[in-house]
Each structure stands twice: as structure tokens, then as C-alpha cells.
Amino acid sequence: MKHFDSKAKLAMDIGITRATLYRRADRLGINIDDLAGAGISDEDYQKLTIDQSSGAVSGNAQQLKELASVQAELERLKDENTRIAQEAELLKNERSTIQDANESLKVQVEKLSQDHDALNEKYISALEDVRTYADKFAQLADQSQRLQAQATKQIEESVLQGERTGETPADKAPKQGFWSKLFK
């Protein structure tokens, strides 16, 4: 039960004019004559706050409706905030995992770089060895060609000398073996 000193205060509390209060009370059959003594029931008060022609809620009822809407929005925002906090925690964990993986990759890259440098040094050393062997091979090839040229020259000289004397190189060679003992 609600008690009001006057009909004007009731109308102000509901958020309507006094004339609108009279029309609604008359239309709904609500007695508003003894507001200070008998008061008005909560049910009748609720009926007066709702504009039956448009279904709109007036005055305090409107404010209560808006308050409920704000509270619902507040709850939705709290839930959203909780969800965002959980996502932020997940992102933080993922970031930590990524940083750990990044550090691991840096270590692996450093090791691979050191291995690359060591292999590069071995490669350069092997190239120097190849150059040395190539130089020695070229010297041996030159020496071989000179020796072949000398041998060819000596053979040619020997053949020319044999033609002058009529002897062949085979005649000059000492006879060996079975035939040499037979035809001595």
C-alpha cells in the first residue's frame, strides 16, 4: 500500500499530469479519493503507471524499466569484460609461448650460423689444397712432357746414328736368353 498526501503528489510520482491521473483512474475504476488514509494498492498503482492506450509506462515505472534495462546492460558488459579478460589471458599465454619459440629459434639460428662458418672455413681450406694439388699436377705434367720430349729426341738421335752406321738399336742390345747362347 502506498500513501500520498494529495492527488497531485501521486500524479507527480507516476510522472503524469493530474488531469491524466483522473482520466486513468476513472477508466480503470480505481478510487483515488482517500490517498492519505486508505492509500492505493500496489496493484492499482502499477495499473496507473501504465498508459493503456499506448502500452507505455510512465513516471517511476518508466524509470524502473530503464533501470532494469541498464542493469541488464551492465550484466552483459560484465560478462563481456570477463570474456575479454579470459581472451587477454589466452593471448598472454600465446605470446609467452611465441617468445619462447622465438628464443629457441634464435639459438638454433646462431648454431646454424656457427656451423655455416665452420663449413665455410673447411671449404676455403679445401680450395687452397685443391689449388696446391693443381699446381703440383701442372708441374708434374710439364715435367712429364719434357721427359717425353727428351726421350723422343734420344730415340730419334739413336735411330739417325744407327742409320749412319748401319746398326739398329736391336743390334746394339746384348743378346739374352736361349737364342743368345745358341748364336753367339
Total tally of structural domains belonging to the chain: 2
Closest by alpha carbon to 7, among 31, 35, 48? 35
Write out the residue range of the structural domain in which residue 112 sits: 61-152
Taking CA atoms, 176 is separated from 159, 169, 173, 184, in Å, by 22, 15, 9, 10
Q: Are residues 91 and 119 in the same domain?
A: yes
User: Which helix (DSSP H) or strand (DSSP E) does residue 146 occupy?
Assistant: helix 59-165
> Which amino acid is located at 55 in the chain?
G
- Spatial distance between the Cα atoms of 40 and 32, rounded to a whole number of angstroms: 7
Q: Are residues 50 and 126 in the same domain?
A: no
Whether residue 181 has pLDDT greater than 80: no
Stronger pLDDT, 37 or 112, i.e. the higher one: 112
Which of these ranges, 50-59, 64-73, 128-137, has the smallest mean pLDDT?
50-59
Whether residue 74 has pLDDT greater than 90: yes
- pTM beyond 0.85: no
45 located within any domain: yes
Stronger pLDDT, 41 or 93, i.e. the higher one: 93
